[in-house]
Structure 1
Amino acid sequence: MNEHLKPIAHFLENDNLDFDEDDFIGLQYDIVDQLEDHNIGFEIITDVLELMETNPLVEFGSPGPLTHFIESFYNQNQKEYVKSLETSIKTRPAVHTLWLLNRVINGSEEARALQLTQVMKSVYENKQVATDIRNVAQQFLE
C-alpha cells in the first residue's frame, strides 16, 4: 500500500468502524493534499481500490475526497480506470467500489453501460459475496 494511504488504513483499523464521519472525511482531504503535493496521480488507483476492498463495508463519502481524486483521472485514463475497477470488483467487491462502478455506468454510452451492469449483476447473484454488499448491488440494479 502506498505510504500516503496508510493513515486511512490505520484510522479504519483503530476505530473499528465506529468513527466520526467528519474526522474520516477530513483525513481523506489531508491525504489528497499530500498526494497532490507529491505529484501522485493515476498510478495510485490500485492502492485506493485495495484500501476499499480491505474495508468492504466502509463508505468513503458521497463521493468523498479520495473518490474525487481518483475520478479526476477518469477522462484521461477511461480504459485503465474501468479495467482496474472491474478487476477490483471481480476480486473483492466492496460497497464503495460498487458505488464507483454505478457512477461509471451512469456516465457511459448504452453498450458500455450494459456491459458494466453485468459486472454489477454478477456481484448481486454471487452468494459468496456478503449480503450487505449484494444488497448495494441490488439497489443499483433497480
Structure 2
Amino acid sequence: MEAVPLLTNNARVYLDKPYVKVFWSPEDHILMSKWTGFCTYEEIKAVGARILDAVTFEGAEKVLYDAREIEVLDDHSQRYISGDFTLDMISSGVKFAAAVFPDDIFAKFSVDDIQKDIKQKRISNVTYFQSFSNAFNWLKDK
C-alpha cells in the first residue's frame, strides 16, 4: 500500500475540505495537497488561491500535489491549472513541483491533458510520478 502524506504535530493546515487538504510540512519544507473526489471549477480556483497564499507565507519552493484519489476535472479547471495557476506558482517562488497521477483512469486522462498543455507551453517545473513515495523522495532530494 502506498504511503500517505503525514500530518505531524508541527504541520500547518491551510485548508481542510472533503475534496482537498493543504498543509505545510516544516520538517520537509514541502507544501502538500491531497485531493479526493470531485471538485468544481470554483472549488479548484479557491484552493489554488489558498495554495498560493501558503506558498507566499511559507516561502515554499517545493510543492507536492497528491492526486491519487481525485476524480475527473472539467476542461475549465484543466485550463486554469495548466495556465494561470502554474504561472502564478512559478512567479511565487516554487522551484520544484511533483504531481502524483490519479488511480482512476478517467481522472488520469484529465491530468495527462494538463501535463501535455503545460509541456507544450514550456512554462512548468512540474514532474509527474506514478507513486507518492517517488514524488515525495524526489522533492526531499531537491
Same-fold call, TM > 0.5? no
Structure with more helix by fraction: 1
Structure with more strand by fraction: 2
Bigger radius of gyration, 1 or 2? Answer: 1
Smaller-chain TM-score bracket: 0.3 to 0.5
TM-score by length of 1: 0.41
TM-score by length of 2: 0.41
